Amino acid sequence: MKIAIFGVGYVGLTSAACLINDGHEVIGIDVSASKVAMINAGKSPIFEPGLEELLAKGVAENRLSAFQQIDDKLEDVDIAIVCVGTPSAVDGSHNMGYIAEVSRQIAIASTLLPPRERPLTVMYRSTMRPGSLDLLIAPIFHAQHGGKPDNVELVYNPEFLRESTALKDYYAPPKIVVGTADGQPSATVEALYAGIDAPRFTVGFREAEITKFVDNSFHALKVAFANEIGRICLRESVSAKTVHEIFVSDTKLNISPYYLRPGGAFGGSCLPKDVRALTFLSNETGAETFVLDAIIRSNEAHKRFIFEMATDGLEPGARILLNGLAFKANSDDLRESPFVDLARRILSAGYDLRIWDPQLEPSALTGQNLGYSFAHLPEMTSLLLKDQAALAGMNFAAVVDARGDAKALGLETVKIVPINAIP
């Protein structure tokens, strides 16, 4: 294929090199005269292992050239890849000025294209907030074409290239994520990545656009968390290296998808207690662990969010069924259960609450479990339904599904609110 790359910075150059290596023809377009001159001389404006050799190969084989202007260079191009920068604005958002201008230039050039068998695929790789394709880029193309263009296909394809290993990462990415207008595969993009073996996700624009934000923020969180634990260990004469080895050895829970699915708030007898204790230890030793300090506050905020999601759109006094009260399904442990808090909020807001939890028998509760449950929800016994048959004769405005099996109850309700898996 013939591929145009707009913006020959780090991502643009490394992508160009790999595309050349795959046998494609590449043209680079950049406003920098010095970059254009270096590329046309087979030189790389940046250092990346193996990069300059591939660029030189492309120039020598007449499969790489660079320009400052688009002009008519899109006439026989299959894919236009946009890799221009989205630097931070003063308020912390991305500055989308370069994206908007390049999009305008491509949109104008695409109005002059001759008839094509396939539309020009315009692929954006720059990191940008969800909604950028829908609310900024697509309208630019629509404005130039007088409506939705039939000769242009917009695609979002985030990159996962790390400096110093970018060429290897291109061929062995952790995943390939492609966002399209309808969430269906793009034939051109499928052909582009046909030789790369990696998990593939074809999704809507917004799911693809947020992917890089989520990944990078989690990477930053992991670094900050690890360093906070390291500071505590150092102050307590604990080997941080040994703690790290133990921690990362657990791929069943610690390094796994298990606790990373958006859903309910955490609770139970262990997590809240130990987070508070470690935060106390950190404050006592002066380790200044701001990530740890925020965990409980974040969990409380999520409890409020769940309440708002559960009651959204309901009439005052509406009858609500809470399917599950224990902190997790198939348990009767109510200690610091987020659903006890949710029940209390629902009652305080004036709704008519009923609870279904077949594993829960108030008379069997003992010790701290007994004390916590009745101290925080003294009405519990009167709210609990005794058997599933009692559900049939009641009309509920909503079922708040904490157990994950509300549909099996056979209720016809206005809505089922899934708590343990945010859709």
pTM: 0.87
pLDDT of residue 398: 92
Sequence-distant (6+) residues with CB within 8 A of 53 are none
pLDDT of residue 404: 86
pLDDT of residue 419: 83
Residue 26 bridge partners (DSSP): 3, 64
The two tokens of residue 298 are 């974040």
pLDDT of residue 413: 67
- Listed in order, strand segments (DSSP E) in 218-350 are 319-323
Q: Which fold has domain 304-418?
A: Rossmann fold (3.40.50)
Q: Cα(46)–Cα(333) distance, rounded to whole angstroms?
A: 58
C-beta of residue 347 within 8 angstroms of C-beta of residue 311: no
What positions carry a catalytic annotation? 270
Domain positions in the chain: 2-205, 304-418
H/E run at residue 180:
strand 176-180
Sequence-distant (6+) residues with CB within 8 A of 244 are 226
pLDDT of residue 37: 97
304-418 has the same fold as 2-205: yes
C-beta of residue 80 within 8 angstroms of C-beta of residue 123: yes
Backbone angles phi, psi at 312, to 5 degrees: -60, 125
Pick from 282, 281, 283, 279: which is nearest to 271 by CA?
279
Indicate the Cα dihedral angle 344, 346, 352, 358, nearest 10°: -60
CATH entry 3.40.50.720 includes domain 2-205: yes
Per-residue pLDDT of the chain (423 residues; tens, 9 = 90+): 999 999 999 999 999 999 999 999 999 999 999 999 999 999 999 999 999 999 999 999 999 999 999 999 999 999 999 999 998 888 888 899 999 999 999 999 999 999 999 999 999 999 999 999 999 999 999 999 999 999 999 999 999 999 899 999 999 999 999 999 999 999 999 999 999 999 999 999 999 999 999 999 999 999 999 999 999 999 999 999 999 999 999 999 999 988 888 889 999 889 999 999 999 999 999 999 999 999 999 999 999 999 999 999 999 999 999 999 999 888 899 999 999 999 999 999 999 999 999 989 888 888 988 898 889 999 999 999 988 888 877 889 999 999 888 888 887 667 888 887 666
79-82, strands of its sheet edge to edge: 64-67, 25-29, 2-6, 79-82, 120-124, 152-156, 176-180, 200-204
